[in-house]
Amino acid sequence: MSFEKLGLRAELLKAVAGQGYTEPTPIQTRSIPVILEGHDILAGAQTGTGKTAAFALPIVQMLSEDQAAKKKRQPRALVLVPTRELAAQVGKVMQDFGRRLSLRSAVIYGGVNINAQMVRLNRGVDIVVATPGRLLDHTGRKTLDLSRVKILVLDEADRMLDLGFLDDILAVASFMPVKRQTLLFSATYPDSIKRLADEMLDNPRRIEATRPNLAAEGVTQVMYRVEKLRKRELLTALIRKENWRQVLVFTRTRYGADKLTGQLVADDIAAAAIHSSKSQSIRNRTLAEFRNGSVRVLVATDVAARGLDISSLPHVVNYDLPEIPENYVHRIGRTGRAGEKGVAVSLVCDQEQALLVEIERLLNRKIPVKHLTGFYPRQDHDPDIVEAKRNLKERALEKQKKNMERKSKVPRKKTKKAKTGKRKKR
């Protein structure tokens, strides 16, 4: 199917063609017509499947058709996202499509000065892309009116619930009209998503672009078993041996991200960290350096698992396995996007075996194991050491066998019979 058959306006078709897209992705093919018909949707799609355009294109088209409301420049569409990076990514897509039809958009998130956002909102916007916390700051200050919002999008809804935004989402919804169109996109379907859908969606259409909870087909998944204290040594060895030029590495904690970054720099590998303790300006600069190649390794916490849009990212590494199995899917979804190929590597120590079991249960498959000489969880697992021990044992047995054969060939000396001590009778 082509974009022309989805019912989009000529201006949007030109915008899509200008970005180099010729055919819609499955999530776009199934979502766009349903959204244009005005239905609520509950859509399942992993990152990198084109889901942002799946809701951005029909939203821009529907808002452009109401010329009277367009002149008032009041928010009529709201997109809620879990992270700043995802807000910036979605905001750019909305801006690119919206300007074709003279629509204005604003991106709102924390970590930056709120005054510039207030000025932008005061000028009038049609579309708002926001994280829940900063959005509530604006509603509390009366700098943002949501009473005329017709379309609400919950993007990466599962991640928002993981981050504890449920109460904030419900609070935001209370400022909006009850009668509206709600679009919920989620890569996974835990019970919390089902309850949220029951709470906020009205007779939704269920759309499955991909099987839930599975990684994109273009991602090759492998793991290396390694001792916990040798993970950094193995990571450095892999980067050098495989000549990885652009690697996104995930750690479990901010402290771990900073520590690993320092170790990689000490190994003469250009690395930088990104996590929630970094200011937004530093995060933006670090991402720019990673994209242009100045930084070879970007070390991140799960704050970056959603929203990082790095074209043709070849490698993702799980330095620490995530405690929430679904986050594994989101992490490796940073590579293999939009049909590209990518490799996801996990460094697994014995202490993470339980986490690995949960991830493989979620994937419904085993992650293939690879080995790098000298890096194994224990010496008795290292095939080089096992082979060396086997050779030593075989040589020892061979030597013992030869000694026995040599001894068997040596002629035995005749020995005199011992006298019994009895005297011969005369």
Enumerate the domain spans of the chain.
Answer: 3-208, 219-379
Same fold, 3-208 and 219-379: yes
The residues pairing with 298 across neighbouring beta strands, listed in sequence order, are: 248, 272
Instruction: Indicate if the pLDDT at residue 48 is higher than 50.
Output: yes
322-331 burial code (b ≥16 CB/10 A, e <16): bebbbbbbbb
Instruction: Indicate if the pLDDT at residue 159 is higher than 90.
Output: no
Tokens (6 digits) for 56: 């951005």
Q: Report how far residue 45's alpha carbon sits from residue 47's, in angstroms, rounded to the nearest whole number.
A: 7
Out of 3.40.50.300, 3.20.20.70, 3.50.50.60, 2.20.28.120, the CATH code matching 3-208 is: 3.40.50.300
Q: Encode pLDDT of 82-131 as tens digits.
A: 988 889 989 999 999 998 899 999 999 988 889 999 999 999 999 999 99
Q: Report how far residue 136's alpha carbon sits from residue 154's, in angstroms, rounded to the nearest whole number.
A: 15
Q: Report how far residue 217's alpha carbon sits from residue 24's, in angstroms, rounded to the nearest whole number.
A: 17
Give SS3 for 84: helix
Closest CA to 54 of 23, 86, 95, 26: 26
Neighbours of 262 (CB within 10 A): 13
**pTM of the predicted structure, to 2 decimals:** 0.68
**Which range has the worst mean pLDDT, 6-10, 241-245, 389-393?**
389-393
Element (H, E) at 31: helix 26-36
Out of 3.20.20.70, 1.10.10.10, 3.40.50.300, 3.40.50.720, the CATH code matching 219-379 is: 3.40.50.300
Q: Report how far residue 53's alpha carbon sits from residue 31's, in angstroms, rounded to the nearest whole number.
A: 10
